[in-house]
Each structure stands twice: as C-alpha cells, then as structure tokens.
Structure 1
Amino acid sequence: MLIREAHLADWPLIWPFFHRIVAAGETFTYPTDLGEEEARSWWLLSAPNRTVVAVDEAGAILGTAKMNSNHLGNAAHIASASYMVDPAHSGRGVGRALCTYTLEWAREAGFRAMQFNAVVSTNAPAVALYRSLGFDILGTLPEGFHHPTEGYVGLHIMHRTL
C-alpha cells in the first residue's frame, strides 16, 4: 500500500465511497445529503493542510485522509484529521496506515498534539483504532450525534500528544 498526495483527478474515485459513508449517517457529522461539489471542497484541502489517498499496487484507491490544523491563532499547534476507507477494503489495515501517516505528518509539521472533535461513540472500530494508537477520550458529548439506527449517541473528543 502506498499513501500519496490526493489530486483533483482522484476525486471521481473517492466520491462513490465518500458519498456512501456520509449518506449512511453513521460516522460523520456531515449532512447526509451533502452534494459532490461541496464534499470535494471540504475534503480536498490545500496547503498547508493536506489530503492523501492510500492506493494498492494497481493504483486503486483504498481510502483517504485529510489533515489540518484543528484550531487557529494561539491554538494552531493542535492538528486534526479525518479518515474514510472504502468499505470494500475495510479490515485490511488501511485505516491504521492512514492514521499513522497523519500522526507522522503532524509531528513533522511541528504540531504538539492531535485532537479528534467528533468521534461517534458507536463507531467501535474507529474508537479501538485510535485508542491503540495512543489516543485518549477526553470527554463525551452526551447525545451529540443522532445515529440512524441507534438513536442519540455520544460524540467523543479524542486526543493524543505528539
């Protein structure tokens, strides 16, 4: 697996799984009816932020991550990131590779910590992955997310020092 910079030409290959994940309404705080143009502008970030894709040997996109400063001004030393793995490729270490990559990017870019603002508490695979990589749950916003089948569930704020 190779992780490389995402290009505008990658978007038509990202959009189908991005749209499926967002429309399911189970893991992201994005509107479930998010349109393609707006989604592209939210996901494909410009420098100094970054968006990458994980690709296999044949060049197929397995997943994607965006990384950025979580805050501005005197709090701009805290990074954040978001991840989407094509469900057809889940369970193959793509999410772990992307998360590890973003942690290394943040460290090299001079950030002091990484914080995730809204990890849906019922997203057990993501919570377990982040914990295994050293993230702690700082707090949970009770009923902060309206899950389509679980009802109102918590949103974790997760943090890791770099």
Structure 2
Amino acid sequence: MHLDRIDISILTEIQQDSSLTNQELSDRVGLSPSPCLRRMKALEESGIIDRRVTLLNQRKLGLTLTAFIQISMDRHTPDRFEVFETLMTSYPEVKSVSLVTGQSADYLVEVVVEDMDKYQEFLLGRLTRIEGVTGVHSSFLLRKIMNRTALPLTHLVQTINK
C-alpha cells in the first residue's frame, strides 16, 4: 500500500490515541469523515494497522515487578524453538518474547508479575521446567525511564518528500 501525508497523519494520531472517534480523527487530519473512515479501513485491511489496544497502568493494577530474562536453549532446532515459543505465548505473565542474536542467550523474555514470590513461582514452576531451557539470566526493572508505544514514521515522510 502506498502511503501519503494524510495516511501518515492518521497513523500518527491513532498511535497517540486510538479511541478517537472518526469525526475527531477526520478533524485532526483535515479530511471529511467518510474519506477518513475509508482510509482507516484500507490501513486496517492492508495490515499496516495491526490492532488497537488500551494501555493499562501495571503499577496501579498491582503488577510491580518486571523481569527481563535471557534464556538459552540446548538445541537450535525448529521443533525445540516451536515448543518453547508456544508455551511462552500461553503464559499471561509474559509480556514479550524475542528471538535474539549477538548474545549468549537465544531469547529475551519480558515478564510482569505482582512481586518476587510470583516471579519465583513462574521461574521455578514453569520456565525452568520447559524442555531444552539450559540457561536463565534474570534482570529486574528498577525504574522505567520511557515507554514509547508509537513507531517512528519520519522515514515515511522523508520518502514522500523525495
């Protein structure tokens, strides 16, 4: 899908507030409501808009411990990775899982739980019991400096200006 300035404006606005009504969004991007709605549907159908979510305050919900876990696997085979990844996606405490390179670990996993006791339950009761997990190195979040959810779109604007 070819994006123009209006599409980029729509994407910028909804990354900041996905609860905008179509009327509010159309006012912000300088379109009438019908064309704005058509563009939104096209962005969704093309897969550029993956989904819309509501961000919750984890601290206010009692989720005060965030762990970043580096996980090493014994074998680098598709079946071993598939089992691990399927299990990770089934655990509600797991916020993100990334297969990484350039480290001694194979995966970087972000886990959000209530406290250290819950983390220990997750670590010993689930994570270390997964077949193939040979190494676990945990780091804990002390303070979140920034948590940006919006993707940078400046490269798209630069492409249009060329």
Structure whose CA Rg is larger = 2
The alignment's TM-score, normalised by the length of structure 1, stands at 0.22
Structure with bigger helix share is 2
TM-score, length of structure 2 as denominator length: 0.22
Higher normalized contact order (CA 8 Å, seq sep 6+, divided by chain length): 2
